[in-house]
Amino acid sequence: METTAAFTGLECRDCGRAFDADETTHRCPDCDGVLDPAYDYDAIDLDRETLASRPFDSLWRYEELLPFTHESAVTMDEGATPLVDCPRLADDLGVERVLIKDEGRNPTGTFKDRGQTVAVTAAGQHGASDVALASAGNAGQAASAYAGRAGLDSHVYLPARSGFTNKAMVNVHGGDMNVVGGRIGDAAAAYEEALDEHDDWYPLQTFVTPYRHEGKKTMYYEVVEQLDWEVPDAICYPTGGGVGLVGMYKAAMEFQDLGLTDALPAFYAAQASGCAPIVEALESDRDEHEPVENPDTICGGIEIPDPGASPWILEAIRETDGGAVATDDPDILEAAVQVAQREGLEMAPTCAAAVSGALELADHGEFDGDETIVILNTGTGNKEADVLRSHLMSQGV
């Protein structure tokens, strides 16, 4: 494999054992735990000036903190997204500054591209011919795009509920598209069944491949550089499986360990009331979630009833003095429309859960007034224009 100098291999989050990344490709061979890329941080020589001297053109500008070299990467120059000032939202929240990290500007319109560029690079280096995953929609679209670029076949399992754009674009990218009746759990079951029959398929599933959260670290690196090395007081993230949240938490620890920053932001998980296992775990003081029996929200990207990495998500929240919040679908849709009308930015409903959640936190006095808050717009609104438009229609507009 064409790995970077400081990358030492994979470490199990559960049993702590280390594995060679050439041989071990997915979960822990000993205990089936989540594997996490590890580095020799002493060997990483990265300072603010070095980073500033590089063009802000893709997430691979942080190559030293990623497993693979930029040169070997399957990339479409994803990342390097804008951090947009939102003064009206800051007024609404009663804080000094609110910025939206606009991940809608990625190649397939969501931050899922950051995970897939690294995971599909790994797949190629492991000699895979086929990649496969179940997804609420955006990850499947991203995977089929990167697989196409890498010359790999992709097998994507989407629930019937996922949006038209996701389904259409998996086809357009040449993926083998499987629409499964029901929700994400049904799509995952169909995927597992197919995987049993095809042992040559390389899984790109969340926290099954060790590389998706690794790619998402770069959102945090970018935010801090874009704020001229000021660590934001809070980061509010629409949380499903928590890949992005865990990635950013890892990144925040790394920047601190490398001496590039000296603080951690408070991480907030925003969920929809119809599927809020992290909020429930936090409120009942548990270290792990309990699966939601009947998930029901219009926010497909965060309708994840059984987030396997919940202990890590909860650690990120507790260790940074953050929190978790759930709001109702109508409030989430209204937040998306308000941001579109007053700030101009186009947020998908799933993403607007982070805005709606931040408003709810502000209502409950979570902020003092002098904060800088970053909200992740994980995906573009125009993929789900129909859902946003029907919210307006439901109000007679």
Ligand X SMILES: *Cc1c(COP(=O)(O)O)cnc(C)c1O
Tokens linked to 20: 């060679």
User: Pick from 12, 378, 381, 384: which binds ligand X (CB under 6 A)?
Assistant: 378
Residue 6 or 358: the one with the smaller Cβ distance to ligand X is 358
Question: Which residue bears the tokens 């998306």?
Answer: 336
Helical packing angle, 329-342 and 385-394, nearest 10° = 100
CB of 251 to Zn ion, least distance (A): 23
| Partners of residue 138 on adjacent β-strands | none
Residue 138 or 297: the one with the smaller Cβ distance to ligand X is 138
Q: Which partner in Zn ion, ligand X, none is near 57 (CB below 5 to 8 A by kind)?
A: none
CB of 376 to ligand X, least distance (A): 8
Residues of this chain that interact with Zn ion (CB under 5 A) are: 12, 14-15, 28, 30-31, 33
Enclosing H/E stretch for 359: helix 349-363
- Binding span for ligand X by CB under 6 A among 160-168, 193-201, 238-246, 286-294: 238-246
- Residue 178, SS3? strand
Q: Which partner in Zn ion, ligand X, none is near 301 (CB below 5 to 8 A by kind)?
A: ligand X
User: Pick from 138, 165, 205, 297: which binds ligand X (CB under 6 A)?
Assistant: 138
For residues 141 and 304, the answer to whether their CB atoms sit within 8 Å is: no
**Position 318: which residue type?**
R
Q: Which of residues 289-348 bind ligand X (CB under 6 A)?
A: 301-302, 348
Q: Which partner in ligand X, Zn ion, none is near 12 (CB below 5 to 8 A by kind)?
A: Zn ion
**Contact flag: residue 243 with ligand X (CB under 6 A):** yes
**Position 273: which residue type?**
S
Tokens linked to 239: 């949380």
Question: Which residue bears the tokens 């007081």?
Answer: 233
User: Pick from 97, 112, 155, 250: which binds ligand X (CB under 6 A)?
Assistant: 112
In order of 22, 116, 125, 343, the CA distances from 150 in angstroms are 19, 11, 10, 37
Residue 6 or 139: the one with the smaller Cβ distance to ligand X is 139
Q: How many residues does the chain have?
A: 397
* Residue 310: closest CA among 351, 269, 349, 274: 269
Residues 269/270/274/278 CA torsion (nearest 10 deg): 10
- Write the DSSP string, 27-88: S-TTT-PPEEEEE-GGG----HHHHHTS-S--GGGGGGGSSB-TTT---S------EEE-HH
**Contact flag: residue 274 with ligand X (CB under 6 A):** no
User: Pick from 4, 58, 108, 110: which binds ligand X (CB under 6 A)?
Assistant: 110
CB of 36 to Zn ion, least distance (A): 11
CB of 299 to ligand X, least distance (A): 8
CB of 264 to ligand X, least distance (A): 19
CB of 43 to ligand X, least distance (A): 29
**Contact flag: residue 387 with ligand X (CB under 6 A):** no
**Contact flag: residue 244 with ligand X (CB under 6 A):** yes
In angstroms, the CA 147 to CA 157 distance is 15
CB of 179 to Zn ion, least distance (A): 35
For residues 315 and 278, the answer to whether their CB atoms sit within 8 Å is: no
User: Pick from 107, 238, 265, 274: which binds ligand X (CB under 6 A)?
Assistant: 238
In angstroms, the CA 378 to CA 358 distance is 15
User: Pick from 379, 381, 388, 391: which binds ligand X (CB under 6 A)?
Assistant: 379
CB of 111 to ligand X, least distance (A): 7
Residues that bind ligand X (CB under 6 A): 110, 112, 138-139, 238-244, 301-302, 348, 350-351, 378-379
